[in-house]
Structure 1
Amino acid sequence: MKQFIYTLEHIYTDEDHTAIKLLGFFDDLTKLEKIKDQALKFPGFRDYPDGFLRIKNEMNKVHWKTGFTSIIGEVGRDYIPEKDEIDRGSSVVQNLTAIFSVSHIYTIDRYLDDERIIGVFSSLEEAQQNVDELKQQPGFKEHPEDFMVGEIELNKLLWTSGF
């Protein structure tokens, strides 16, 4: 059975750019809503209250399995080759206190990074195994040191101030 995790992001566009802020990963919608209410107290988030986005992300799924050949820019999550289709038989992840988020970010020039969101994993071993495999794929093998693996506590606000 597939498992998923809820992700809370905030996206806004002003006259200069579009920005995405990752607010956290959650195993419960009630906890997610409490964190959203907390973030709404901060400047920026309260100025763009319609910018919150709740996403279901399949656990232990790798996006970008075949590597890449072109630059996508700073918001790689908009260009994930396939969206997570969470079927009715799936369930929210249970019995975890943290997940391991994997991304690949390399600097193109001083004003632009190329970012790809690889996936969320239930263990460090699972995350690292997938990173090791991806390092053999086009694009990734040219930038093997640019993977970021981070342990992120569930049900916690990651953004602690306004913008």
Structure 2
Amino acid sequence: MDYFVYALEHIYTDESHRDSKFLGYFDDPDEAEKEKQRLLLFNGFSDYPNDFYLKKVGLNKIHWQNGFTEVVGEIGRDYLPEDDYIPDYGQIIKKLKLKTVFKVSHIYTIHTFLDDEREIEVFSDEKMAKNVVEFLKQKDGFNNYPDDFIINEIMLNDWQWSSGFG
């Protein structure tokens, strides 16, 4: 069975830059909407109210599984060939009754003001996330920066931001 989680992000562009804020994973779109409404009360989010994005993200799916050969820059997830394909028969993870998920990413510093970032994806348990990291450490690009993987345990339907920005 293919499962997915909802990811809420805020991505905006102003006169000087583009910025992306990860706002959380949700097992229910109504919970994501509640979080969006809460964040709209804060500076920055209220300045860009139309820049919230809710997308389905495949659970236990590996992005960049063949490694990489080029620098993609700050927001590597935007450079994936396409968004996650979620089959019509995919199920929201609410049925799994998970409390947390494990987000795997890889970030290394190119120079003082630029990191190269790739989101590997979100996994249902820590053991699987660690196994994916060990697998990817052998792949082109990742093998040059094997210590730059990050595994974050993220509570579902939880606040990731408690203030605004800007």
Per the shorter chain, which TM-score range?
Answer: over 0.9
Separation in structure 1 between the aligned mates of residue 82 and residue 152 of structure 2, nearest angstrom: 23
Counterpart Cα distance in 2 of 1:151 and 1:158: 12
What secondary structure, in the 3-state scheme, does the structure 2 residue paired with 1:144 have?
Answer: coil
Tell whether 2:111 aligns with 1:109. yes
Which stretches in structure 2 are left out of the alignment for 5+ residues? none
Aligned to 2:35: 35
SS at match of 1:20: strand
State the secondary structure of the residue aligned to 1:78.
helix
Q: TM-score scaled by structure 1?
A: 0.98
1:118 aligned onto 2:152: no
Tell me, in whole angstroms, the C-alpha distance in 2 between the residues paired with 1:15 and 1:95: 43
Aligned residue in 2 for 1:138 = 140
Q: Name the SS for the 1:50 alignment partner.
A: coil
TM-score by length of 2: 0.96
The reply on whether 1:9 has 2:29 as its aligned counterpart is: no
Displacement of 1:83 in angstroms is: 2.1
Shift in Å at residue 80 of structure 1?
1.7
Deviates more, 1:86-95 or 1:60-69: 86-95
Counterpart in 1 of 2:161? 159
Moved over 3 A (4+): none
Instruction: Report the Cα offset of residue 81 of structure 1.
Output: 3.3
| Aligned-residue identity in percent | 51
What amino acid sits opposite 2:126 in the alignment?
L
